[in-house]
Amino acid sequence: MLIEQAVVLRKNVCQMVCVRSILLIGICILIQSCASYGSHATTMRDGLLQGKPELSLAIAEQKDPDQEEVIASLDKGMLRRINGDYVGSNEILEVAKQEIEKLYGVSITENLAAIAINETLRGYEGDRYEQLLLHAYMAMNYIQIGQIDGARVEMLQANVKMMEWGDEPEEDAFTRYLEGLIYESLGEQDSALISYRKAYTVYKEKGGQQYPVAPVGLKKDLLRLLAKQRLWSEYKSYKKEFNMTKYKPPKVSKKFGELVVILHNGLAPIRGETAIPIFSTEVQQNLRVAFPTYKQHKKRLYTPQVSVNNKRYSMETVEDIDALARYSLGQAMPGIMLRATARAVVKYNTQHSAGESSALAGFLMTITNLITERADTRSWTTLPQAIELKRIKLPVGEHDVQIQMLNTAGQPVDVIKQNVVIKSRRTSFLIKHWSAPVPKLNQVVTQ
């Protein structure tokens, strides 16, 4: 009898230990999945900042071997690109694209988890600007492997996406501009004109906020194509609007071709976590909530300057990803705070009811809730801070092109050199990434 009881008791203890360890493992998994993306991104980006992009890529490739997380695939795609693997980059970005598509629609379980545990348990599909830039980078990969038709396909997909978002057109200015460049290089000037017009509309409406002011280069492109298609009344009205009354469309010559220089400058901002106590009227208590913020101010970028054939050209900012990221978070903030408050109440109630059954359970629940309260710091942080562009008309033949990076004093801190071939009446692309000046030990920077 006594033995039987002892056996039952031992069984119970065993079961309890078993269940506890399973619970513990569960919590560990939760905590692990909560390990913020921000800290991973910081380590990953170190390589880029030290001029060793291959290190960044190695760190990125270790993450998410099953290729299920959009954010990991986006980072891999960008870093493969920076390391010159354009085909590999497109392969993984295509994976990201498919995963984003799978995340379409409102998830019930993920939203429940977001309210019960934290926001990082929601599938990350990327902000709208990130989803559009995904297509833009894939298009640039296709350009760089010489498949301009593939680039065109990507632009059409971005177009469908913008169309789907419908009534409040969330068009991306750079994507539209790039679309125009691709159409024009394919000889489809009528389509290019439409893209330039749309890009200009975005710059005009949102310039100075989440977009830079309309680049002069785009204005010239718009006027040039309007003149070519003899849309004179629109040409005149734009000329007046741009205050470019002296503008004359350049003559087309067989002896010239065009170079489009695109520079991806700096690195996008990283989201950090801020936790504050907020007072809940529902439970009459101060509750701790965590939410993402941009802790660092916008960084001052080095100024790129293109030089070809002893001539210098300044580049124009066509996309300000820093501003886009901050704006996007600002737009999402009311929703994030709403869910955070709801979550805090749910967590408070679990603590409270656990505390009623036993003090230890209540304490454990409080700890768990504290640990699991993490902000969602995910964003595509391998994106550049800004994209800069310059179109240069050049004589047919080979040219040595340099992009110098200037500091605030106008002194060059780094230079990118590349030989380009210009073909008659064709567009050549020179697309480069630059993150930071590489600290060169024992080496004088020569101009």
Partner 1 sequence: MSTTLLKTGQLIILSGVLFLLAACNPTVTRVDSDSVTDLSGKWNDTDSRLVAEEMIQDVLSRGWLSKFNRSEGKSPTVIVGTVRNLSHEHINTRTFVADMERELINSGEVEFVASASERDEVRSEVKDQDLNSTEETRKALGQEVGADFMLQGSINTIVDAVSGEQARFYQIDLTLIQLGSNRKVWAGQKKIKKTVEKGGFRL
Q: Which residues bind partner 1 (CB under 8 A)?
A: 12, 15-16, 18-19, 22, 101, 103-109, 149-150, 152-153, 156-157, 159-160, 163-166
**In this complex, which beta carbon is closest to partner 1, that of residue 166 or of residue 439?**
166
Shortest distance, CB of residue 3 to partner 1, whole angstroms? Answer: 18
- Rounded Cα distance between 424 and 394, Å, is 9
Distances, alpha carbon 37 to alpha carbons 247, 297, 431, in Å: 49, 19, 28
Identify which of 173, 387, 177 has the alpha carbon closest to the alpha carbon of residue 266: 387
**In this complex, which beta carbon is closest to partner 1, that of residue 18 or of residue 283?**
18
CB 109 within 8 A of CB 123: no
**In this complex, which beta carbon is closest to partner 1, that of residue 160 or of residue 370?**
160
CB 198 within 8 A of CB 171: yes
Shortest distance, CB of residue 160 to partner 1, whole angstroms? Answer: 5
CB 125 within 8 A of CB 131: yes
Shortest distance, CB of residue 22 to partner 1, whole angstroms? Answer: 6
Shortest distance, CB of residue 295 to partner 1, whole angstroms? Answer: 33
**In this complex, which beta carbon is closest to partner 1, that of residue 153 or of residue 396?**
153
- Rounded Cα distance between 26 and 344, Å, is 21
Q: Which residues pair with 281 in a beta bridge?
A: none
**In this complex, which beta carbon is closest to partner 1, that of residue 165 or of residue 327?**
165
Shortest distance, CB of residue 109 to partner 1, whole angstroms? Answer: 6
**In this complex, which beta carbon is closest to partner 1, that of residue 109 or of residue 309?**
109
Distances, alpha carbon 386 to alpha carbons 10, 218, 319, 440, in Å: 64, 17, 6, 24
Instruction: List, in order, residues 6 or more apart from 313 with CB less than 8 Å away.
Output: 305, 306, 307, 390, 392
Shortest distance, CB of residue 379 to partner 1, whole angstroms? Answer: 23
Exposed (0-12), middle (13-18) or buried (19+): which is 186, by Cβ within 10 Å?
middle
**In this complex, which beta carbon is closest to partner 1, that of residue 90 or of residue 382?**
90
Shortest distance, CB of residue 101 to partner 1, whole angstroms? Answer: 7
